[in-house]
Amino acid sequence: MVCLKHTSHALPPPDGVLAPQENLKVLEGAYFLGYVPRTVAIVCVEENPLAVAWHMPTNKEPFLYAVCIAKDNYSHSLIEKHADFTINFLSAEYLSDILVAGNYHGDKVNKWELFKKLRPAKALRVNALVVEESLLVYECKQERTINFPDHTLLIGRVELIHYKRGKLKPDKVSYPLHMGKGYFSKNSKPRSFSSVENSKIPSGE
């Protein structure tokens, strides 16, 4: 095997490549999310709901979906013992209850009793609760976990999906988006971009 020593800037940059801008702020070895909006959902591990903004699909067949759980959350102790969990996507109108799920710990209080609007229901396939008001629910079995210093990536095999008939339309859904540092937003005015040419979002949106 031939190893080539990597020398940065060994070649002149191609035409059109800009030099680093002077107004760039550079962070190294930092934790910084830059107000990138992320949908906040509720995960129920067995009966306990917690808010999660760190989640993503990770495979199509089988459909795998990952959520990241902090080790100091009560839910983390639950995922060590229980394989079943649900991921519940709710409309932005439930944000205050979502914040209850995201600010109280299930070993101290029963969050279902604190919710103003959200109600528990039994999952159809797995041994966990679902949030009745959800637009979309993934019922999951733990596929694997990946251990990191302060979080565990919990990867679930989605066993069953259910959603509210007629409500999952791009122009109808309004999901709560967490931007960090207590800031929230929601999606609005979706547009279908059928080609690159007509993909200009009007200014002000």
Ligand X SMILES: Cc1cc2nc3c(=O)[nH]c(=O)nc-3n(C[C@H](O)[C@H](O)[C@H](O)COP(=O)(O)O)c2cc1C
Contacting residues toward ligand X, per CB under 6 A: 40, 48, 50-54, 68-70, 73-75, 99, 102-106, 178
For ligand X, the closer of residues 99 and 155 by Cβ is 99
Planar angle of CA 105, 110, 114, nearest 5 degrees: 95
Q: Which amino acid is at 163?
A: Y
Q: Which residue is nearest to ligand X (CB)?
A: 102
Q: Whole-number minimum distance, CB 62 to ligand X, in Å? A: 23
For ligand X, the closer of residues 63 and 104 by Cβ is 104
Q: Whole-number minimum distance, CB 178 to ligand X, in Å? A: 4
For ligand X, the closer of residues 32 and 198 by Cβ is 32
For ligand X, the closer of residues 165 and 181 by Cβ is 181
Planar angle of CA 140, 98, 135, nearest 5 degrees: 55
Q: Whole-number minimum distance, CB 37 to ligand X, in Å? A: 11
For ligand X, the closer of residues 107 and 171 by Cβ is 107
Q: Whole-number minimum distance, CB 50 to ligand X, in Å? A: 4
What b-and-e string marks burial along 88-101, b requiring 16 or more CB atoms within 10 Å of the CB?
A: bbbbbebbebbbbb
| CA dist., res. 125 & res. 128, Å (int) | 9
Q: Whole-number minimum distance, CB 105 to ligand X, in Å? A: 3
Q: Evaluate the omega torsion of the peptide bond into residue 62 and state whether it is cis, within 30 degrees of 0.
A: yes
| CA dist., res. 39 & res. 51, Å (int) | 10
Closest CA to 106 of 132, 123, 140, 129: 129
